A and B are shown apart, each in its own frame.
Chain A
Amino acid sequence: MALSNVLQIPTSGFNFENVARNVALESLLEGGHTKTPKPMKTGTTIAGLVCKEGVVLGADTRATSGEVVADKMCAKIHYISPNIYCCGAGTAADTEKTTDLLSSNLTIFSMNSGRNPRVVMAVNILQDMLFRYQGQIGASLILGGVDCNGNHLYTVGPYGSIDNVPYLAMGSGDLAALGILEDRFKPNMEMEEAKELVRDAIHSGIMSDLGSGNNIDICVITKQGVDYIRAYQESEYKDKRQKRYRYGPGTTSILTEKIVPLDLEVVQETVQRMDTA
């Protein structure tokens, strides 16, 4: 480990140095009564489908850490490029960083080649990376986009398997969402019908799965552009705050006050001139 005052440029890619340390820590703590915090997972429902004019992606907005909801308005539909978006299920940090890396790579590619990236390219890059990490990166992704070859929807598994499909659901709520999609999906659907179907699929996942909940985000990608509707539908079980929970100074009354002066002895004094000209 480097000393804190020596600048060390981080090596590229993911760094698994702390895995051994974490394992050792866990065994130490389990012996005691404390537990290490669980990584934040997006126990989630995400879905996507290909319709006549483009691709519709949907996701819930709940992120859990063990049994606690860590984030009620988490954004699970990530930007990859102007024509490609990606929904992520699995470990929140993994999906976030993987999609960020992919997005950066594709931006550089766009600048170098002068072209918008194709969906197959994004899929291939993801596949190569996830396979290289042999499933250690817990990211299950739905990649959707529109390019010169048409409208595409791909699933990318955590071990690096891919499949090109017309409709898809992933995450812990996938079975519920898939039921709705299997029942009502038709090829070449109209846009409004497609949005409603994705909404219903996510809704079903939210109702039937504990790890999914809160609001529904929808992202519509067409040749003309992208419509990212954050909170297409808000949860009807949203709590209304009863009052403002801000406590001004003076709320807690001071009963007693005791001041203890710290007697410090000046041991050494050095003056270093700073050239501020």
Chain B
Amino acid sequence: MERHLMDSKIKGVSTGTTILAVTFNGGVIIGSDSRASIGGYYVSSKTINKLIQVHDRIFCCIAGSLADAQAVTKAAKFQISFHSIQMESPPLVKAAASVLKELCYNNKEELQAGFITAGWDRKKGPQVYTVALGGMLLSQPFTIGGSGSTYIYGYADAKYKPDMSKEECLQFATNALALAMGRDNVSGGVAHLVVITEEGVEHVVIPGDKLPKFHDE
């Protein structure tokens, strides 16, 4: 198995991936595929979980080296819980994103992982933040990431509308993931979607054969 590791730029298991997060009227949807690969041509897991819950209403999706991403989210989960206990109130999404940004920026030489943080808080409602590889933190109404995202920039830019309804947003996210998984070889498996609103968190899983099909499939 070691022969696969030599070629890849990311050592070990990588989540060559498609991840996205989109705000809608009243909440945010965060989604990802479920494939983990080694070396760009061996699928080491078809069912990896890339949507990690860092707090009650805050999720984060991971891209890059799986080991690095899991280590960072573990540390972030702890720091966010601790922060929330100290403040005696649920953390702001911006705070959670900042924790991840600090970890990524301060260890930028050693780490190879990027994140999208999305959630709902009382102060600003639904938000999406992206933390890039080197530690850049950016707030956007919607964002896509991972190796598969390059294939859906056009689709996302054209089809996104602010203030969508939950159903429209689910359709948008599902289509985007399906299109990316269709073109990117290191994205695939099932589509995981999490809908975060003030009321709670809903996890939607769409198996590969139930994904929307487009004209040449």
A residues in contact with B45, CB < 8 Å: 163, 165
Bound-state CA distance A160–B40 (Å) is 19
Contact with B along A153-174 (1 / 0, CB 8 A): 0000111111101000011101
B residues in contact with A172, CB < 8 Å: 1
Indicate whether B71 reaches chain A with its CB closer than 8 angstroms: yes
Please state if B67 and A163 are interface contacts (CB–CB under 8 Å): no
Please state if B71 and A131 are interface contacts (CB–CB under 8 Å): yes
Indicate whether B143 reaches chain A with its CB closer than 8 angstroms: no
- Nearest A residue (CB) for B45: A163
- Nearest B residue (CB) for A132: B71
Q: Label chain B's interface by main secondary structure.
A: mixed
Indicate whether B36 reaches chain A with its CB closer than 8 angstroms: yes
Indicate whether A98 reaches chain B with its CB closer than 8 angstroms: no
Bound-state CA distance A160–B112 (Å) is 13
Pick from B1, B36, B48, B71: contact of A160, CB under 8 Å: B71
Please state if B70 and A134 are interface contacts (CB–CB under 8 Å): no
Please state if A171 and B1 are interface contacts (CB–CB under 8 Å): yes
Bound-state CA distance A139–B11 (Å) is 14
Indicate whether A66 reaches chain B with its CB closer than 8 angstroms: no
Please state if B71 and A163 are interface contacts (CB–CB under 8 Å): no
Bound-state CA distance A162–B47 (Å) is 12
- Nearest A residue (CB) for B3: A172
Indicate whether A127 reaches chain B with its CB closer than 8 angstroms: yes
- Nearest A residue (CB) for B65: A159
A residues in contact with B13, CB < 8 Å: 157, 159, 161
A residues in contact with B90, CB < 8 Å: none
With A127-B71, A131-B67, A165-B47 in contact, do A159 and B1 touch (Cβ < 8 Å)? no
Which among B11, B13, B48, B65 has the greatest number of chain A C-beta atoms within 10 A? B13
With A127-B71, A131-B67, A174-B1 in contact, do A161 and B47 touch (Cβ < 8 Å)? no
Contact with B along A129-167 (1 / 0, CB 8 A): 011001100001000000000000000011111110100
Indicate whether B22 reaches chain A with its CB closer than 8 angstroms: no
Please state if B47 and A159 are interface contacts (CB–CB under 8 Å): no
- Nearest B residue (CB) for A124: B74
Please state if B1 and A163 are interface contacts (CB–CB under 8 Å): no
How many residues belonging to A are interface residues under a CB distance threshold of 8 Å?
A: 20
Across the A-B interface, how many residue pairs have beta carbons closer than 8 Å? 48
B residues in contact with A135, CB < 8 Å: 11-12, 67
Please state if B48 and A163 are interface contacts (CB–CB under 8 Å): yes
Bound-state CA distance A124–B78 (Å) is 13
Indicate whether B66 reaches chain A with its CB closer than 8 angstroms: yes
Indicate whether B157 reaches chain A with its CB closer than 8 angstroms: no
Report B202 CB to chain A, min CB distance, Å. 22
Report B72 CB to chain A, min CB distance, Å. 10
Contact with A along B54-85 (1 / 0, CB 8 A): 00000000000111101100100000000000
Please state if B1 and A161 are interface contacts (CB–CB under 8 Å): no
Indicate whether B110 reaches chain A with its CB closer than 8 angstroms: yes
B residues in contact with A160, CB < 8 Å: 12, 67, 70-71
Which among A127, A130, A134, A160 has the greatest number of chain B C-beta atoms within 10 A? A160
Bound-state CA distance A19–B208 (Å) is 47
A residues in contact with B65, CB < 8 Å: 159, 161
Pick from A127, A140, A159: contact of B11, CB under 8 Å: A159
Report B68 CB to chain A, min CB distance, Å. 8
Which chain B residues in 1-60 approach chain A with CB under 8 Å?
A: 1, 11-13, 36, 45, 47-48
Please state if A161 and B66 are interface contacts (CB–CB under 8 Å): yes
Bound-state CA distance A140–B12 (Å) is 11
A residues in contact with B48, CB < 8 Å: 163
B residues in contact with A127, CB < 8 Å: 70-71, 74
Please state if A161 and B11 are interface contacts (CB–CB under 8 Å): no
Bound-state CA distance A165–B68 (Å) is 20
- Nearest A residue (CB) for B71: A131
5 A-B residue contacts at CB 8 Å? A127-B70, A135-B11, A163-B45, A171-B1, A172-B1
Beyond known contacts A159-B68, A161-B65: 11 more, CB 8 A cutoff: A128-B71, A130-B67, A140-B1, A157-B67, A159-B66, A159-B67, A160-B70, A161-B36, A161-B66, A162-B70, A171-B1
Cβ-closest 3 pairs across A and B: A159-B12, A159-B67, A161-B66
